[in-house]
Structure formats: structure tokens, C-alpha cells
Amino acid sequence: MKIHIITIFPESFESYLSSSILWRALEKWLFQCELYKLNDFSDDNFKRVDSKAYGMHGQVISPEPLAKAIDFIFDKVGHKIPVIYMTPSWELLNQKKVEEYYSKLDGEFIIICGHYEWIDQRIIDLYVDYSISIWEYVLTSWELSACVFIDWLVRHIPWVLWNTQSLEEDSFWELLDRKKEYPVYTRPEIFMWQQVPPVLLSGNHKQIENWKKENLR
Ligand SMILES: C[S@@+](CC[C@H](N)C(=O)[O-])C[C@H]1O[C@@H](n2cnc3c(N)ncnc32)[C@H](O)[C@@H]1O
């Protein structure tokens, strides 16, 4: 999987991509990420990429630099690839949907992060294949919603998680009937008078599996 990200703030991704599991996955080439600064595609002398909105308050990302950036990536890859736009007002993500996106977006794709209120609608009409909302609330940062989506996708790539069983036992997985995971315990066996359920110490795998099913939330 290779993710091309168009953004005004490439630095917002850097700390996130340079730590923990995502960093390890990048180092092992389990996925790749390329950042493009939108302002580099502006013909404006001051590298501006926004303009005043028609008929409403606020600034909007102009279509020209975005179209130039997307076409540049298409040329570089050698063909068109899916274009994703993060927006609060479109299809809501859930675990089932993200699994569907994971199969659709197996190769390379582009994520557009704009700034200000919106991007010009004509970019959405002409280029965008999937508009995705991470939930019904409005964030300030486009980069943050993109990071949430990327984290979700990358988690599903084989070998990104050391223990693939932990993925299959995550909340909302099909194996768990899309319910939330059961409670989990570690040492010590007794903590502040609270005891670990004895069945988990029994070593009886069948009984443990039954206990897990009974305790899904
Ligand atoms: C301040 S918001 C713009 C909100 C827009 N004016 C509206 O009313 O829907 C800036 C950007 O952050 C991203 N964003 C904010 N909340 C999001 C969400 N829940 N899901 C996906 N993207 C989101 C989108 O790219 C959005 O365009």
C-alpha cells in the first residue's frame, strides 16, 4: 500500500508517522507514505492556495493547485489512482466499512487534506472517488482525520501487528459478532481486593473461549 498525501502541513504527519507501530511498518516497507506540500503547486507569487468563497464567509482551497498536485501524482504513478477526501458530512466510517476500504485501496491512493472551510466543489466532482467522514463531529485539522483513517487501514496490513490474533480479537471484528472486546487482565492475580476471573487462570482453553464469548460487551 502506498499513500500519497496532499497537504499544506506535511509536518503534522511527521511526528505521527515517526513513532510506534506506524514507524516500524514504514521502516519494514509494509506500507509507504509520500507527502506533497500543496503550496508547491501554486502559481501565485506568494504560494497562496486559497481564495474567498463565493456567496458565503470564509476561505476555500482553490481548484488549480489541487488539480495540479493530483495530476502530478497520476503522472508519477503512470495512471489514475483512487482519490480520497476527508469530510465530516459524508459516509461515516465504522469497522465494517474500513475493512471494505482496505480491500478497495490495496494499491496506491491519494488523500487530499485541504485547509480553511472547504475545497472547491469542482475538485470533488472531477477527481474524488471516496468522501469519508470519521464521525459526526467537526474537527479543525484535516490532517488529524486523515491520520485516523491511515492508522485504521495500516493496522490491517499483514505483519504490521506482531500478533495478528490481537487484530482478530479487537472490538467490532466479525469474529466477535461486531461487539466490543471482553475484559482483559494481567498480573497480579489480586489487585485492591479484585480477583482475576478464576477461569482465565484455569488453562482450560474451551472454558476460556466460552468465557470470552459470554463477556463480550
Ligand atoms: C473545519 S472542517 C470544515 C468543516 C466544514 N465547513 C463543515 O461544516 O462540514 C475542516 C476539515 O477537517 C476535516 N474534518 C473535520 N471533521 C471531520 C470528520 N468528522 N471526518 C472527516 N474529516 C473531518 C475535513 O477535511 C474538513 O473539511
Say if 159 falls within a structural domain. Answer: no
Closest-CA residue, ligand 1 atom 22, reads: 87
Of the CA atoms within 13 Å of residue 47, those in its CB half-sphere come to 6
- 214 has catalytic annotation: no
Q: Same domain for 109 and 138?
A: yes
55-89 as b/e, with b when 16 or more CB fall inside 10 Å?
A: eeeeebbbbbbbbebbeebbeeeeeebbbbbbbee
- 88 has catalytic annotation: yes
7 lines ligand 1 (CB under 6 A): no
Ligand 1 atom nearest the C-alpha of 149 is 21
Residue 129 has φ and ψ, to the nearest 5°, of: -95, -40
Q: Same domain for 36 and 97?
A: yes
The dihedral built from the CA positions of residue 168, 172, 178 and 182, taken in this order, carries a sign that is positive
User: So what's the pLDDT on residue 92?
Assistant: 87
Structural domain boundaries, residue 91: 2-154
Distance 132 CA to ligand 1 centre (A): 10
SS3 label, residue 194: strand
Closest-CA residue, ligand 1 atom 13, reads: 142
Query: Are β-strands 190-191 and 194-195 bridged in parallel, bridged antiparallel, or unpaired?
Result: antiparallel
- Give the angle subtended at the CA of 134 by the CAs of 131 and 137, to the nearest 5°: 110
- 82 has catalytic annotation: no
Q: Same domain for 133 and 193?
A: no
117 lines ligand 1 (CB under 6 A): yes
Q: Same domain for 147 and 77?
A: yes
Closest-CA residue, ligand 1 atom 17, reads: 88
Q: Same domain for 65 and 6?
A: yes
Residue 170: CB partners within 8 Å, gap ≥ 6?
A: 176, 181
What are the residues facing 184 on neighbouring strands? none
How far is it, in rounded angstroms, from Cα 119 to Cα 180? 36
**pLDDT (tens digit, 0 to 9) for every residue of the chain, 217 residues total?**
999 999 999 999 988 899 888 999 999 999 999 999 999 999 999 999 999 999 999 999 999 999 999 999 999 999 999 999 998 887 888 888 888 998 888 899 999 998 888 899 999 999 999 999 998 888 888 899 999 999 989 988 988 887 766 677 777 777 777 777 789 999 999 999 999 999 999 999 999 999 998 998 8
User: So what's the pLDDT on residue 117?
Assistant: 80
Q: What is the pLDDT of residues 12-34, one digit of tens each?
A: 998 889 988 899 999 999 999 99
- The cell for 146 is 486523515
Determine if residue 193 is left, alpha or beta; phi over 0 gives left, psi from -120 to 50 gives alpha, anything else beta. Answer: left
Tally the domains of the chain. Answer: 2
Distance 121 CA to ligand 1 centre (A): 14
**Count of C-beta atoms within a 10 Å radius of residue 172:** 15
What are the residues facing 33 on neighbouring strands? 3
